[in-house]
Structure 1
Amino acid sequence: MMVRKNTKFAATTLAAMAVPTLALAHSGVGTTGFMQGFEHPISGLDHVLAMVLVGAFAFQLGGRAFWLLPPTFVLATAVGGGLGMMGMTIPLVESGIAMSVVILAAIVALDIKTSAGVAMGAASLFAIFHGHAHGAEMPENTGGAVYALGFVIATAVLTVGGIGLASLLHIAHEPSRRVIRQSVGGIAAIVGVGLLAGQL
């Protein structure tokens, strides 16, 4: 009974995260370059999941990684965005984004530990893909600097949100904490596989 409740909670958490993404759906509702940039990460379920999972991963690792992983991811996202704005091609960007969701979800679900350096390297690679997508899809007649500022801030907010969710989960007792973590990670991984297969 407890497992069922925890699984339901995990599904509800992911559904709540998905609502704004499905509503916006890369619609470009914002009227300013900043808002268009800010909306891009939060309007894609793949971006939201990956960034929240990065925050959860940082909390999970603790130590140096807690402080270094989030800013590293945000900085690499900005670099990838710059490459996208300049029209530089990176192969398999969408596949890389989907794969980042799968890998990060598995890491969080299985509570995998690694060094801060390895975590930062992997997160940087994933962030390049996400950032490139933001930059490449910048609307015409939009100021690059303010657009970049928008998606960088959104990325930071989502990542910090992941830290917050992970800290809330940490309050729960075992085995509830483990069940919720595995359920959320498992559902996110399934979503990532679906994105990778082009089914969502």
Structure 2
Amino acid sequence: MKPPRRALLFVLALACPALVLAHPGTAVHAHGGFVDGALHPLTGADHLVAMLAVGAWSALSVRQVWIAPLAFVAMLACGMLAGAAGLVVPGVEPMIAASLVGLGLLIAWLRRVPALAAAALAGSFAFFHGAAHGTELGASIPLLAGLLVATAALHLAGIAAGQLVLARHRWLPQMTGSLVALLGITLLLRLA
């Protein structure tokens, strides 16, 4: 089996537990365990697209491809712990939407970005995503672990998509980035 197929199968396997939930229609995050944390990024387009976009952008624009995803995962954990501890982070929802606009534009732009700048940008976006998760879900260790594993898997899928698909055609990153930015703009307009 080729590596891209393995990555796709891994991401699809993360979604499979949702098919066997004993209580469909109830809150997915009722128990706060590992599976709940792993499923959470898959339940909202804003988080799902942002995490895939970080991987794709990193694959297309950052020489050290893992630096932005690692910074994202680390700061996602920090933001989640802060949100769970009760820290009120102003502008969480607008910043999540703005992160989609920014990531979309960065994907479409197709310019090399220094590793430190990529890590700082991804980390700042991630803190807001994490604060939203922490406020909404709390921060049990299993929940946090599931969320971080799913986030890393989505980054991996985004990197694979960036390297194997988007990098092959100049117009494809521009179209994909524009769609990601459009989702962010739509979310911002809904918040207004």
TM-score band by shorter chain is: 0.7 to 0.9
Residue matched to 1:154 = 150
Deviation at 1:27, TM superposition (A): 4.5
Identify if the C-alpha distance between structure 1 residues 68 and 25 changes in structure 2 by more than 3 Å, giving closer, same or farther: farther
Residue matched to 2:122 = 123
Residues 9-158 of structure 1: pairs in structure 2 closer than 5 A: 27-28=27-28, 33-64=33-64, 66-138=65-137, 144-158=140-154
In 1, Cα distance between equivalents of 2:28 and 2:157 = 22
Please state whether the residue corresponding to 1:100 is helix, strand or coil: helix
* TM-score normalised by L of structure 2: 0.81
Please state whether the residue corresponding to 1:113 is helix, strand or coil: coil
- Asked if the contact 2:76/2:123 (under 8 Å) is kept, the reply is yes
| Paired residue type of 2:78 | V
* TM-score normalised by L of structure 1: 0.78
Please state whether the residue corresponding to 2:134 is helix, strand or coil: helix
Percent identity over the alignment is 33
- Asked if the contact 2:29/2:137 (under 8 Å) is kept, the reply is no
Residues 183-198 of structure 1: pairs in structure 2 closer than 5 A: 183-198=175-190
Structure 1 regions of 5+ residues with no counterpart? 1-16
- Asked if the contact 1:37/1:134 (under 8 Å) is kept, the reply is no
Identify if the C-alpha distance between structure 1 residues 68 and 147 changes in structure 2 by more than 3 Å, giving closer, same or farther: same
Identify if the C-alpha distance between structure 1 residues 44 and 25 changes in structure 2 by more than 3 Å, giving closer, same or farther: farther
| Paired residue type of 1:78 | A
Structure 2 regions of 5+ residues with no counterpart? 1-11
In 2, Cα distance between equivalents of 1:164 and 1:25 = 33
Deviations 1:163-197 (A, max 9, x none): 0111111563xxxx111111111111111100111
Identify if the C-alpha distance between structure 1 residues 25 and 130 changes in structure 2 by more than 3 Å, giving closer, same or farther: farther
- Asked if the contact 1:72/1:123 (under 8 Å) is kept, the reply is yes
Aligned mate of 1:169, from 165, 168, 175: 165
Deviation at 1:31, TM superposition (A): 5.0
Residue matched to 2:5 = none
| Paired residue type of 1:191 | L
Please state whether the residue corresponding to 2:112 is helix, strand or coil: coil
